[in-house]
Amino acid sequence: MTLIRFSPISEFESIRNQLDRIFDEFGSLSKSNYQTTWKPAVELLDNNESLILKASLPGIEAKDLDISVTRESVKIAGENHYENKSQENGYYHSEFHYGKFKRTISLPVPVQNDKVEAEYKNGILTLTLPKVEEVVNR
């Protein structure tokens, strides 16, 4: 028989993360947030001992990223700064995403959030999230 410790704090954190995702989906109705917001695309892979999270963040500098990891979720926030474009003659078109963003990803299993490894290269953020030992040893 396997005993799993119940942690009321992690239950509240899970609920808070779910509410964050709901509000992220609907956005804010305040006038200050009428700017276009966007969410980076992510992939979540499992390699038995760790979860690998990749986020596509083209054009964003590492200094503009804020990453926080708990046992149950990863939050990636940051800003892609607007480029100063001058337009003399003609029309320009942009489908690039600018402005602030935030993305919270719920993890399918608990991870050791104090042992996370991060790499940011060519606009791809890769987080290696080691699973807690109880999950690996199942």
Parse the chain into domains and list their residue ranges: 8-82+97-136
The pLDDT assigned to 14 comes to 77
Q: Which CATH architecture group holds 8-82+97-136?
A: Sandwich (2.60)
**% of the chain beyond a pLDDT of 90:** 49
* Pair 23, 37: CB distance under 8 Å: no
State the pTM of this model: 0.70
Token pair 């991870």 is found at 111
- Model confidence at 34, in pLDDT bands (50, 70, 90)? very low
d(CA 97, CA 118): 23
What is the separation of C-alpha 49 from the centre of its chain, rounded to a whole number of angstroms?
Answer: 21
Question: Which residues lie across from 131 on neighbouring strands?
Answer: 111
* Pair 66, 78: CB distance under 8 Å: yes
d(CA 45, CA 53): 6
